Structure 1
Amino acid sequence: MRLQRKLHSRADFERGDSFAERPHSGRRGRLFESGRMKGLVLYLINQSPKHGYEIIKEISELVGGGYTPSAGTIYPTLSFLEDMGLIATENSGADRKQYHITEAGKLRLQERGDMIKQLLEKLETKREIQSNDKFLDIHRAMENLKTALRLQLGSKELDAEKIRKIAENIDQAAVEIGRL
């Protein structure tokens, strides 16, 4: 049996009934492309030494929209950065590690400055769309598009012609939006 998801109205979003505001049971696209999470964690530690839990909370606040990285994402990232010599730890009591950036980490952060800047801008835009009432219709429409795409991509009748038509419609919408 195929999962049916309803498209959302503005009223759904105003009531807080949007699909995006509920826990997601299926696989979603990755919020962070390869290496972006490592860069963001390094950026946050560069601002001030932090414990892993503080990093999780800060990323959650930066991203907004109910996203919180799991400990299973952050702690392996911290271990990787430490293994690479980009951060170092210091025990701050009660077996809590506090992470500090190293000189090598500062150099890496400078090298990746453009990527970090782009990521922070992307997260700011995401937060703005999700939290600003004036963007409510855009957020709703984006969720409706994602729902429609998920339903089509899960369809057994999806052939090459239908895929081409879907891509063509998305491209046309992008062109029209760009011309506004």
Structure 2
Amino acid sequence: MNETTDSLLINSDKPSRKSRLFESGHMKLLVLFLIEQAPRYGYEIIKSIGELVGGGYSPSTGTIYPTLSYLEDMQFVSIEKPDGDRKQYKITVTGINHLNGQREHLEHILGRLETRREIQNNDQYLDIYRAMGNLKTSLRLKLKNNALTEETIHQIAKSIDQAAVDISCLKNEVVR
């Protein structure tokens, strides 16, 4: 291996948990961003996030409405009722200032979601999805066996690390 491929390997004594779609605070920023674009009802926010994320994802009302309550408590949004009882959320000056201070972080979140959508909508990647599913399944089955030796654990980790290096070394060919 060389310096480039060595840098792709993550050397950690402590395994990390699978990353969630939205880390702490990301949903709040995303909701505030959507409200900044135009005042919205809760249901519209749920639909808009589903469209941004893609892949059939839809946040639950149990996620969105507490987020909206938090944003209101922080005075980042205000509530209007233009057609009776339904609450429409509108960004405040405080909310705009907060969002502007988090713009770089927001752009990172939006970029990640765009990449996720592009991958999900590209039929070329079906073989990769299938292969990743096979890898996950084989790992789950192997890890269910609590009697794995230390040697087997190291062999599994080495195989996955090597696959990561091999993938990173593949040449990108432009399809025209």
For residue 42 of structure 1, what is the aligned residue in structure 2? 32
Q: Percent of aligned pairs with the same residue?
A: 59
1:103 aligns with 2:93: yes
**Do 1:130 and 1:139's aligned partners in 2 also have CA atoms closer than 8 Å?**
no
For residue 87 of structure 1, what is the aligned residue in structure 2? 77
**Do 1:129 and 1:138's aligned partners in 2 also have CA atoms closer than 8 Å?**
no
The answer to which structure, 1 or 2, has the higher relative contact order (CA under 8 A, 6+ apart) is 1
Sort the Cα spacing of 1:34 and 1:48 in 2 relative to 1 into closer, same or farther, 3 A.
Answer: same
SS at match of 2:40: coil
Q: CA deviation at 1:160?
A: 5.1
Sort the Cα spacing of 1:80 and 1:127 in 2 relative to 1 into closer, same or farther, 3 A.
Answer: same
Once structures 1 and 2 are overlaid, which stretch shifts more, 75-84 or 149-158? 149-158
**Do 1:51 and 1:98's aligned partners in 2 also have CA atoms closer than 8 Å?**
yes
1:129 aligns with 2:119: yes
Q: CA deviation at 1:90?
A: 0.7
**Do 1:45 and 1:100's aligned partners in 2 also have CA atoms closer than 8 Å?**
yes
**Do 1:91 and 1:97's aligned partners in 2 also have CA atoms closer than 8 Å?**
yes
What TM-score, normalized to structure 2?
0.77
Structure 1, gaps ≥5 residues long: 1-27
For residue 59 of structure 1, what is the aligned residue in structure 2? 49
Letter in 1 for 2:69: S
What TM-score, normalized to structure 1?
0.75
For residue 142 of structure 1, what is the aligned residue in structure 2? 132
* Alignment: residue pair count: 153
Sort the Cα spacing of 1:161 and 1:91 in 2 relative to 1 into closer, same or farther, 3 A.
Answer: farther
Deviations 1:119-140 (A, max 9, x none): 1111111111111111211222
Query: Quick check: which has more Rg, 1 or 2?
Result: 2
For residue 14 of structure 2, what is the aligned residue in structure 1? none
CA distance in 2, matches of 1:66, 1:138: 19
For residue 173 of structure 1, what is the aligned residue in structure 2? 163
SS at match of 2:57: coil
Sort the Cα spacing of 1:29 and 1:150 in 2 relative to 1 into closer, same or farther, 3 A.
Answer: farther
Letter in 2 for 1:114: E
1:32 aligns with 2:32: no
CA distance in 2, matches of 1:150, 1:94: 52
CA distance in 2, matches of 1:153, 1:35: 32
Q: CA deviation at 1:104?
A: 1.5
